[in-house]
Amino acid sequence: MSRNLTADLAADLRNRIVDGDIQPGDKLPSENTLIGEFGVSRTVVRAALTRLQAEGLVETERGRGSFALSPPPDGPTAANGTRAVVTMEDRIHLLEFRIGVESEAAALAAGNRTDRQLKAMLNALEDFTAGVEHPAHAMKADYEFHRAIAAASGNPFYSDCLASLGQTMIAMPRTRLMTGTEHYARDHFEQVVHEHGSIYAAIADGDESSSSAAMRSHLANSRRRLRAGRQ
């Protein structure tokens, strides 16, 4: 379990650095802040920072804390052998890849899903909706929603693909990190909630073509938001 928590925390911090929310030279949130935000142990926080240090994204100075470094032009290969998502171009390419893969997975899920799998999708959707004030939690729920759809496809290769990509496949826009009353942030979040709801409704109805179209529309919109918001 701690391994997954470490990966999730590393993915969130990696996204913030790559997206520019944490600029090169900026100090990362303190250990105590990360413990409170993610609800994890100090051991998990330190393991995540060690992972980012190995990727050349973070430098830790004793007594001063951890600081963001400039992302390397050619991202490191992830430990599982997949291409690491480091640059803006990487994120756009990944979304384009996901459009093809997950649109078909959604169509298959509409025809193959069980009631239990549909419930898993609904739980993830509800968790995501409840995460408007908690970006890290919303990001995890977003990933779980897409994983639940892949699992419901009935084809284990879809699940394996999303598992290998990890939570980093979810592009965290800085607009979604703007918690509180920012109008644009809430509009963005509510739009994603609506898109997820459309995907879920189509799969629940067993409509394969609508499920595929809803997923394609969602990921195409994510790509558009990525380009427009410089995620």
% of the chain surpassing 90 pLDDT: 48
Q: What is the pLDDT of residue 175?
A: 47
Could you read off the pLDDT of 86-131 as tens digits, one per residue? Answer: 677 888 899 999 999 999 999 999 999 999 999 999 999 999 999 8
* pTM exceeds 0.75 for this model: no
> What is the assigned CATH class of domain 88-229?
mainly alpha
Nearest to 58 by CA among 18, 105, 85: 18
| Cα gap 78→26, rounded to integer Å | 24
Q: What is the pLDDT of residue 181?
A: 36
Distance separating alpha carbons of residues 89 and 118, to the nearest angstrom = 33
Choose between 3 and 89: higher pLDDT: 89
Going from N- to C-terminal start, the domains of the chain cover: 2-68, 88-229
In this predicted model, what pLDDT tens digit does every residue of 163-218 receive, in sequence order?
Answer: 888 877 876 554 454 444 344 467 788 999 999 999 999 999 999 999 999 999 99
Bridge partners (DSSP) of residue 27 are 67
Q: How confident is the model at residue 80 (pLDDT cuts 50, 70, 90)?
A: low
Tell me the CATH number for domain 2-68: 1.10.10.10
More confident residue, 18 or 72: 18
- State the Cα–Cα distance between residues 25 and 134, nearest whole angstrom: 25
Find the range with the poorest average confidence among 128-137, 143-152, 197-206. Answer: 128-137
Tokens of 91: 């994120």
Q: How far apart are the first and last CA of the chain?
A: 29
**Three-class DSSP category at 177:** helix
pLDDT attached to residue 178: 43
Question: Is residue 56 a contact partner of residue 66, using CB atoms and an 8 Å limit?
Answer: no
Give the pLDDT score at 231.
Answer: 38
Which amino acid type is present at position 218? H
Confidence at residue 115, expressed as pLDDT on a 0 to 100 scale: 97
Which of 18-27, 42-51, 56-65, 142-151 is the most confident on average? 142-151
Distance of CA 36 to the CA centre of its chain: 20
Hey, what long-range contacts does 122-130 have (CB within 8 A, 24 or more apart)? 122/200, 124/148, 125/193, 125/196, 125/197, 125/200, 128/192, 128/193, 128/196, 129/193
Q: What is the pLDDT of residues 13-55, one digit of tens each?
A: 988 887 778 887 788 999 999 999 899 999 999 999 988 887 7
